[in-house]
Structure formats: structure tokens, C-alpha cells
């Protein structure tokens, strides 16, 4: 028997045995619930349908193709929910162990996925498993007529990638997930333990991320009926073994498959057709920056992505032959070896052959493309006529005296840069890079690239860093198999892959620890790591989430090289300390800041050293901010690319964290390393802001103009700009380096002191005096630096020479924000009358009356102040204030003063008064 036949037979037998365990519930169901075995009886089961009837109805799902989606005429760049970063730029700094090394074309991949459905259905028929009738539960699974009506009612013109993602869910996962869940875990009911969701990508490209995974288990534990008794859920139909699998899968792999959803593609020269040519020719190559390596890599991986399921890869790629992929650490099975170099063909030939293998043709695709073009031309012509009608005043009713010409284009632009493009053009290699990075974060094996009418299905192999890519599928015209069966095969294969991977990763977790005397593990950390075993088990196969504050995995043991490198990055770090009005008068610090801003150092080499990133080739940046869509007026880089620079000509920027993101781009924390050939290397703690799109870069240029205005007016309490840079590569980001402002009031927690509150108000007053209105005052933009000084940041929305209305509104807004963040100033020990404080000229203030109506002036000297910083009351002498601080009890003291003779003779009122710090208390009312 050949290797191909053996792999198919082994996979078929494995699926059959897997189905036997899954459907054992239909043969011998426990009389009690798995979750609450002694409180809930067995849930009701619908009467079974006739096998022929339900299988015929399932075939209508399998033999279904979506209709051709039309593109709505829209204004330029209106896709909502776009992020603030270019993920392909970050991908150039990805750790070498995580990059995509090879792309392999698998022409028959979609047919292999359909075989997964056939094997599962044949197994159910052979064992006589009866399925519930269609439409048992409304909205979960319905017959063909109702399903078609729901899909058609949701269909409309696709304006952007958000519309494509919504239509994809309403036409495929909404009906396929209950089928996949029932065929795998609970064949007695059409419910689902699976979920599909989508969210806009964090990058600057028009992409929506889709995810497929297991529903949270808490949903099955908390539902109760109207009478308060626990209500049966889908989890009660799952046996103990599968319940254990689902619980562990939900903990390890929150995403089983990843979707990258784009706008509807038009034309043979769009990104999806061009990707087909690149995959066929094997022309993909991971992009790297052009700088020569100048720092040692960290040699660490923040997480382990886990094992690959050999069965999944063999079944998906069993049509491939020949050599082993280069770079694989171990030889792959013969059935997954890539084919020989392809025969040279034109772009049209490659597309036509791929479409024919999927049941369509290039002619059909072009005919639908012509319909698209005609429809868009009609919509654009109608839109042009409407604009002309509005301009001529004939575009419908308008208020008397209203004129469209009275509103210039600049008036509709609320913030700087709003008229510029907010997205970046997407290329085929960029799409593959971003899809690969997202699959790393999701820790998924299957990756689907979807654009409405076109789709690629990809299988990721972690060990060899290879991506196996299918033909381009023209969904409206698919034949043998049609799209309904192919999509269901994706869900079934992803579930099976997660179960097999969970078994492999569980075996590794249960394996004994390696001896502590291994050479590359620091023995001093062995005991510490042993205490964190439970945390490591959870993080070993879970990638760090996208959120910068999320939990990230950690590798076993600390590497000595890693600890050494981290020490090198932080041992000479000098944070910038801002005093309330001027920079700290330190000659060495000033000299270093001047060195960073010096024009002699004309090159900045950018490194990323956090999360997934470990730069090998640094990015090369030159001085000046550039607007990518405009002509570059700064000094051009040399015509011959220079990749190596001397220590005296360069500055090293090492970004080690993400501080936030906004309208201008992404803000990173890190250090600037200043090297020299004749003195010791020094580092400075900074914040760096990266702007990627023309809209962000225009807003960044505007923000720099505001900072220059504030600097020329001598305004302090705002970040100090240390340099402006742009990427040497065409279309790269712009970068601004500024002083590190500390933590925001939103993130630092706790209260600020009254002095810090007054400092914020003074800074805002000086900003207004310089003729600038901030326009974005909120707690996230109010910072406290390392020295405890207030700083106001983020001036991208600010206006120079603003109106007086904003100058009046902003102090009120800032005061409202600070009042909620400022600690209360406790009353001082003595009243003005007791301490001799004069109010006005020659007048003494009246003292407050204590509880009981008697004055207790003799008790006030030993009462501690509630805040040490406010020990000196305005108007008191220095000696009195020092004496009061010296007599104060330390913070958190548990000492309770007893009654003193002559201080009310120990009555309860004066004792309560002293315990309350001298505050006047109301007498307790008795009933």
C-alpha cells in the first residue's frame, strides 16, 4: 500500500473511531447531566427524523454557493474601524523563529476539505445514527427555503470589508456551525458549542479579522429557567470525554481558525488574483529592513506555539510530492513534500487553470467583473449628478438663505490630516505577512483569506514555518465541491486539529521537568520557575494577546544570554526628569540631549525588542518628517543604499513596549542608545511616536508645529522633542522621539496631590498664554513623570491662535477632571484662632465649635495632620509647621490617644474628635 493510501485510510479510521466516541451519547446516555449530575435530569430530546429526509436536507447545505456580491459606490477611504499601525512594518522586525519562510501551492486543498465532510457523514450512516429534524429550534438550523430567504434578506451592496464580514457570518457560520457542532459532539440536537466573531484589524489596511473557536463554558453553567431551576443547555448533551476536550481547548486555543476579510475584489489585477500568481511561482519572501545587524538578538521566544498535528497536515497536503521544505528541523512525511518548480506561465493562464480546478473559469470571472464595472460607473455618475445639484442649489429642500458654497472644504475638516488617506495600499506579500502574524497571535492552524467573491484556504505548519495555500476559489461558481461543503470541512478539520494538538501539548505538560543543571538554564532561577509551573502550563502554548496589557506566555527557564542582553539595555538608562518649570540642571544630561539632537548623527537605526519582535536588521531612518503622498522636501538619502554606519554617525533606538495609540499612530516606550568611538555608550529613556498613513503623518507634522510654538514661548510641563525622523524606505513611517512623560492619570491609579493639581492648571494657563488650545483634555493625556511632576501631552488636535471660547472652557474641563483625581486636603491641627493665624489685617478668624458646644483648643496641638505635604499652612510660621510635623503620627499608625487630663476629662465627644483628626463630628442620634 502506498504512503498516500496509508495516510487516507489511517485518517478515515481515526475519524470513524472519533465519531464512535462522540456519538456514544446516542447509544448509552447518562441519566443525569454532566455539569450538575444530581440536580438536572436528562434534557428533552426531539424525535428523530427519517434518515433520508434529514440527509437530503443536509445536502442542500453542502450543495450551496453564495451569489455574486456587488460593490456599492462609495466615497474614497470610508472603511470604518481601521487601526493605527502598519503590521507589515512590524512584521519586518519579527523574531526569526516566527517568520514565514516558505509558501507552498496545494491545488487540491479545497477537495480534501470536502472529503472530511464525506467521511463524517458516511460514518454516521454506517452506524445508523439518527439526526434530529431540521428546524427543531428556530434560528439554529432550518430547511433550504427558510435558509435561502434569510440569506437573501441580508444581502445588499458591499460598501467595505465590514459589510463583507457581516454577510459572511449570516450566510455561512450561522448555519454551518450548528451542523459542525452536532456532527462532532452532540448528534441529538441542532445546537452549537462553537462561535464565530469578527472585529476590525488593528492595522492600517482595510482588513477585518474573523475568529472561530469554542463558546465560553460559563454560558452552560449559569442559565436558569423562569422558576429559578438550572436550565438545560447544549453542554448537557456532551459526554465527559468531549467535555474535557472542549474545556482544555477553550483554555489553550481561543481561536481554532483565522479569517482575513477584505473588500470585494475587482479585476484580474487586484490583490487576490495577484496573490494566486505569487503563490504559484513561489515568489514570496519575508521582508526585512535594510540595515546591517548592530545588536545581538535576544535569543528568546515569548511563547511556544505548540505542536503540529501530523494527521491534519498529511490529510490536507497528500497530493504533494518531492523534496522536503528547506529549513525544516525534521523531515516531513512524503505526502507533504512540495512539488517541483512550476512551469513558467502567464498571469492569465495561472488564474484560468486555478479557476477551472475550482469549477469556474477566467471568462466567468471577467464577465462578472464587467458587470461590476458597469454598476460602479452608473453609481458614480449618479453620485456626480447629486453633487452638482447640491452645488447649484437644486439638490432638494434647504433652509432659507442656506448656501452650500458658504461652507468651504476646509471648514468641514475638523482636525488636521482628516482629508488625507487613512489606509495603506495592500500588496499580496503584505497580505500574507499580516495573515501569518495574526495566525501566530491566534495560535491557529487554518487561515482563510476572504474577499466576498474570492477566497484562499491556507494550512500553517509551525515547525517548518511553511504556509500551504489552496487555489483561488471563485465562490459563486464553485463545482465539485461547492462552497457549502468546503466551508463545513474547514470547521470540522479545525476542530479535529485542535483536539489532536491538545493531546500532544498535554503530553508535554505532563512530562517531567528537565534537570536543573542544564548548561543553558540559569540554576539560580530553577526554584522560581518550579513555583510557577501552573502558569507555565497555561502560557506554554498560548501566544501573547494583541492588547499591550494582556497576559503573555513565558518560556521555561531564563537564558543567561537573555538576562545579559536585558542588563545591557537598561544599565545606563538615564530618564529625563522634568522639574515643574525647567529641565533638571545636569550638565551631562544636557550634553547627551544635545548629542541626540545634533545634525552630525544623521541616521537612526530602529530596533524592536518586545512581544513577538526581535529585530535582526534594523530600520534605517533619516532626519525630518515626510508626508508619503507628497514630494519629499528633506535631504534625500544617498542614491547607493548604505546599510552600515559608524558609531559616531548613528543613534540606536530600541523600542521595548507600547504605551498607547491614537489618531497620530502608535506610541512606544524605549531607550535611545548613543554610541561613541572614544567614550562609554549611554542610554536615555524616551517615548517614540510612529505615524504610518498620510493622514497620521500630516497630523504629526501639525503636532510638531504646536510643540515648536510652545517651545518658542518657553512653555514647560510638556514633552521635549528630541528629534524627527522618516524611514529610508519609500512609504515607510515617520518617527518623533520625545522625553518620557511617565504614567497617565488613567493608568497610574491613586490620587494626585493638590500641588500636582495646581501644576496641571499652571501648565494649561501657560499653554493658553502661548496661543494654543489643547482640544483633547482627558485623563489619558495628563501624565505624572518619574520625578512626580505633572505633564500634558498629545497636541495633535490642538489649534494655534484658537478662539477665546476654548480658552474659557478648557480650564473648567481640566478642573472637573482633576477634582475627581485629587486627594482631599485634610484640615490642619489647629484653627486659625488657636494658632494665631490672622485673616486680613489685624483680625483673628473665628474658630469652629467642637462636638458638645465647647472649645477644645488645648487638644489641637497633638492632632496629626492627614497629609504630610501640607504641613505648612499659609500664614503659619515655619517653626510652628515643623513642630506640628514632628508631633504627627506616621501614616498607617494604629496608635489611639487616650483622654488627657483637662481635655474634657475623657468624655466620649473629645475622644471621637481626636480620633477623627480634629474634625467636627455630628452627635449620634438615638432612637
What number of residues does the chain have? 927
Given a contact cutoff of 8 angstroms between Cβ atoms, the answer to whether 741 and 783 are in contact is yes
CA distance 315 to 118: 14
On whether both 811 and 884 belong to a single domain, the answer is no
**What dihedral angle (degrees, nearest 10) is formed by the CA atoms of 11, 15, 17, 18?**
130
Tell me the β-bridge partners of 686: 670, 739
Same domain, 687 and 757: yes
- Same domain flag for 69 and 106: yes
Q: Does residue 535 lie within any of the structural domains?
A: no
> Final residue of a domain: which of 771, 800, 823?
823
* Domain termination site, one of 781, 804, 823: 823
Q: What is the C-alpha separation between 435 and 209, in angstroms, rounded?
A: 9
C-alpha distances in angstroms, 321 versus 160, 279, 326, 470, 642? 40, 17, 14, 16, 42
Helix spans in 619-693 (H): none
What CA–CA distance (Å, rounded) separates 475 from 164?
13
Is 920 among the domain residues?
A: no
The span from the first CA to the last CA of the chain, in angstroms, equals: 95
Is 921 contained in some domain?
no
Which pLDDT value is given to residue 655? 96
Give the integer Cα–Cα distance in Å for 454 and 272: 7
Same structural domain for residues 805 and 840?
Answer: no
Task: Read off the C-alpha cell for 70.
Answer: 456587488
Q: Residue 406: left (phi > 0), alpha (psi -120 to 50), or beta? A: alpha
pLDDT per position as a tens digit, 418-448: 545 567 788 999 999 999 999 999 999 999 9
C-alpha cell at 268: 484580474
Q: Which domain holds residue 841?
A: 832-915
Q: Which of 301, 552, 275, 325 is nearest to 426 (CA)?
A: 275
Q: Which residues of the chain have pLDDT under 50?
A: 1-41, 75-78, 136, 138-139, 219, 322-331, 333-336, 402-415, 419, 514-572, 574-585, 630-634, 829-927
843 lies in the same domain as 803:
no
Same domain, 134 and 216: yes
Shared-domain flag, residues 768 and 890: no
Q: Say if residue 481 is preceded by a cis peptide, omega within 30 of 0.
A: yes
Q: How many CA atoms lie within 13 A of 630 on its CB side?
A: 14
Is the domain of 170 the same as that of 285? yes
The CATH number that applies at residue 754 is 3.30.200.20
Task: Specify the pLDDT at position 709.
Answer: 94
pTM: 0.74
Based on the fold, state whether residues 713 and 761 are members of the same structural domain: yes
Helix (H, G, I), strand (E, B) or coil at 828: coil
Residue whose entry in the numeric block shows the C-alpha cell 499659609: 874
802 and 869 in a single domain? The answer is no
pLDDT tens figures, 346-372: 999 999 999 999 999 998 888 877 776
809/854 same-domain check: no
665 φψ region: left (φ > 0), alpha (ψ -120 to 50), beta (else) = left
Q: At what angle do helices 271-281 and 428-442 cross, to 10 degrees?
A: 80
Which residues share a beta bridge with 739? 686
pLDDT the model gives residue 669: 95
| Helical (H) or strand (E) element with 725 | strand 721-727
Q: Does residue 532 fall inside a structural domain? A: no
The chain-wide mean pLDDT, for the chain, equals 72
**Angle, CA of 459, 461 and 465, to the nearest 5°:** 120
Q: Is residue 529 part of a domain?
A: no
Residue 340 is assigned to a structural domain of this protein: yes
Q: Does residue 168 form part of some domain?
A: yes
* Residue at 242 is within a domain: yes
Same domain, residue pair 899 and 754: no
Picking from 455, 472, 507, the residue at the C-terminal end of a domain is 507
d(C-alpha 667, C-alpha 654), whole Å: 13
Q: How many domains does the chain have?
A: 3
Give me the helices (H) in 203-292, please: 219-222, 240-252, 271-281
Amino acid at each position: 500500500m502506498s504512503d498516500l493510501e496509508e495516510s487516507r485510510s489511517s485518517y478515515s479510521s481515526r475519524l470513524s473511531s472519533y465519531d464512535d466516541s462522540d456519538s456514544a451519547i446516542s447509544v448509552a446516555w447518562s441519566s443525569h447531566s454532566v455539569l450538575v449530575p444530581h440536580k438536572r435530569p436528562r434534557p428533552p430530546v426531539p424525535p428523530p427524523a427519517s434518515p433520508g429526509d434529514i440527509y437530503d436536507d443536509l445536502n442542500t447545505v453542502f450543495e450551496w454557493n453564495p451569489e455574486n456580491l456587488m460593490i456599492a459606490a462609495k466615497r474614497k477611504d470610508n472603511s470604518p474601524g481601521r487601526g493605527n499601525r502598519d503590521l507589515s512594518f512590524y512584521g519586518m522586525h519579527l523574531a526569526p523563529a516566527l517568520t514565514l519562510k516558505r509558501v507552498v501551492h496545494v491545488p487540491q486543498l479545497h477537495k480534501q476539505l470536502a472529503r472530511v465532510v464525506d467521511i463524517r457523514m458516511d460514518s454516521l450512516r454506517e452506524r445508523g445514527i439518527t439526526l434530529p429534524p431540521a428546524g427543531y429550534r428556530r434560528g439554529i438550523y432550518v430547511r433550504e427555503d427558510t435558509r435561502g430567504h434569510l440569506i437573501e434578506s441580508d444581502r445588499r451592496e458591499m460598501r467595505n470589508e465590514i459589510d463583507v464580514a457581516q454577510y459572511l457570518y449570516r450566510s455561512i457560520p450561522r448555519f454551518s456551525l450548528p451542523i459542525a457542532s452536532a456532527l462532532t459532539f452532540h448528534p441529538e440536537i441542532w445546537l452549537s458549542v462553537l462561535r464565530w466573531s469578527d472585529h476590525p484589524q488593528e492595522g492600517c489596511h482595510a482588513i477585518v479579522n474573523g475568529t472561530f473557536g469554542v463558546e465560553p463554558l460559563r454560558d452552560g453553567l449559569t442559565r436558569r429557567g423562569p422558576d429559578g431551576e438550572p436550565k438545560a443547555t447544549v453542554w448537557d448533551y456532551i459526554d465527559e470525554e468531549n467535555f474535557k476536550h472542549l474545556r482544555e481547548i477553550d483554555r489553550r486555543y481561543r481561536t481554532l481558525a483565522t479569517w482575513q476579510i477584505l473588500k470585494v475584489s475587482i479585476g484580474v489585477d487586484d490583490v487576490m488574483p495577484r496573490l494566486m500568481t505569487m503563490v504559484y511561482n513561489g515568489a514570496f519572501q519575508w521582508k526585512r529592513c535594510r540595515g546591517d545587524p548592530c545588536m545581538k538578538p535576544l535569543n528568546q521566544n515569548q511563547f511556544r506555539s505548540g505542536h503540529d498535528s501530523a494527521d491534519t497536515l498529511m490529510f490536507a497536503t497528500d497530493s504533494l510530492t518531492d523534496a522536503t521544505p528547506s529549513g525544516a528541523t525534521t523531515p516531513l512525511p512524503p505526502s507533504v513534500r512540495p512539488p517541483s518548480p512550476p512551469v513558467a506561465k502567464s498571469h492569465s493562464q495561472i488564474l484560468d487553470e486555478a479557476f477551472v480546478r475550482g469549477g469556474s473559469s477566467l471568462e466567468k470571472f471577467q464577465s462578472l467583473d464587467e458587470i461590476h464595472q458597469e454598476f460602479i460607473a452608473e453609481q458614480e455618475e449618479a453620485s456626480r449628478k447629486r453633487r452638482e445639484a447640491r452645488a447649484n442649489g437644486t439638490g432638494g429642500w434647504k433652509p432659507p438663505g442656506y448656501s452650500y458654497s458658504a461652507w468651504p472644504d476646509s471648514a468641514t475638516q475638523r482636525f488636521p490630516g482628516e482629508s488625507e488617506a487613512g489606509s495603506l495600499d495592500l500588496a499580496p506579500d503584505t497580505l500574507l505577512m499580516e495573515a501569518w502574524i495574526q495566525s501566530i497571535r491566534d495560535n491557529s492552524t487554518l487561515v482563510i483569506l476572504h474577499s466576498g467573491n474570492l477566497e484562499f484556504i491556507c494550512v500553517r505548519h509551525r515547525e517548518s514555518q511553511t504556509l500551504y495555500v489552496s487555489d483561488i476559489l471563485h465562490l459563486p461558481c464553485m463545482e465539485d465541491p461547492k462552497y457549502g461543503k468546503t466551508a463545513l470541512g474547514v470547521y470540522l478539520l479545525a476542530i479535529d486539529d485542535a483536539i489532536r494538538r491538545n493531546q500532544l501539548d498535554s503530553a508535554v505538560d505532563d512530562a517531567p521537568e528537565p534537570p536543573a543543571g542544564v548548561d543553558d538554564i540559569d540554576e539560580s532561577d530553577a526554584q522560581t520557575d518550579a513555583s510557577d509551573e501552573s502558569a507555565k502550563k497555561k502560557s506554554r502554548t498560548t501566544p501573547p494577546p494583541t492588547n499591550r496589557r494582556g497576559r503573555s506566555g513565558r518560556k521555561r527557564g531564563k537564558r543567561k544570554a537573555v538576562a545579559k542582553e536585558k542588563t545591557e539595555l537598561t544599565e545606563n538608562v538615564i530618564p529625563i526628569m522634568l522639574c515643574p518649570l525647567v529641565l533638571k540642571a545636569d550638565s551631562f544630561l544636557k550634553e547627551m540631549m544635545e548629542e541626540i539632537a545634533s545634525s552630525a548623527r544623521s541616521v537612526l537605526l530602529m530596533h524592536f525588542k518586545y512581544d513577538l519582535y526581535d529585530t535582526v536588521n534594523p530600520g534605517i531612518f533619516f532626519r525630518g518628517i515626510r508626508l508619503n503622498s507628497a514630494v519629499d522636501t528633506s535631504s534625500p538619502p544617498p542614491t547607493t543604499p548604505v546599510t552600515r554606519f559608524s558609531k559616531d554617525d548613528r543613534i540606536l533606538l530600541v523600542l521595548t513596549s507600547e504605551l498607547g495609540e491614537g489618531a497620530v499612530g502608535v506610541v512606544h516606550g524605549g531607550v535611545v542608545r548613543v554610541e561613541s568611538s572614544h567614550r562609554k555608550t549611554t542610554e536615555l529613556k524616551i517615548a517614540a511616536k510612529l505615524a504610518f498613513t498620510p493622514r497620521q503623518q500630516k497630523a504629526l507634522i501639525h503636532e510638531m508645529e504646536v510643540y515648536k510654538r510652545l517651545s518658542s514661548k518657553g512653555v514647560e510641563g510638556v514633552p521635549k522633542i528630541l528629534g524627527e525622523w522618516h524611514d529610508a524606505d519609500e512609504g515607510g513611517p515617520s518617527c518623533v522621539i520625545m522625553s518620557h512623560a511617565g504614567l497617565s492619570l488613567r493608568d497610574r491609579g491613586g490620587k494626585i496631590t493638590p500641588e500636582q493639581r495646581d501644576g496641571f492648571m499652571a501648565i494649561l494657563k501657560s499653554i493658553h498664554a502661548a496661543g494654543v488650545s489643547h482640544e483633547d483634555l482627558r485623563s489619558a493625556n495628563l501624565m505624572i513623570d518619574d520625578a512626580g511632576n505633572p505633564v500634558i501631552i498629545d497636541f495633535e488636535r490642538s489649534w494655534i491662535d484658537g478662539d477665546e471660547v476654548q480658552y474659557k472652557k478648557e480650564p473648567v474641563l481640566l478642573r472637573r477632571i482633576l477634582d475627581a483625581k485629587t486627594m482631599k486636603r485634610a484640615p490642619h491641627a489647629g484653627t486659625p484662632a488657636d494658632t494665631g493665624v490672622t485673616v486680613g489685617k489685624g483680625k483673628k478668624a473665628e474658630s469652629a465649635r467642637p462636638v458638645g458646644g465647647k472649645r477644645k483648643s488645648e487638644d489641637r496641638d497633638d492632632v496629626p495632620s492627614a497629609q504630610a505635604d501640607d504641613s505648612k499652612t499659609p500664614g503659619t510660621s515655619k517653626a510652628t509647621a515643623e513642630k506640628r510635623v514632628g508631633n504627627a503620627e506616621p501614616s498607617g499608625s494604629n496608635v489611639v490617644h487616650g483622654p488627657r487630663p483637662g481635655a474634657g476629662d475623657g468624655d466620649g465627644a473629645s475622644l471621637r474628635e481626636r480620633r477623627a483628626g480634629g474634625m467636627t463630628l455630628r452627635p449620634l442620634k438615638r432612637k
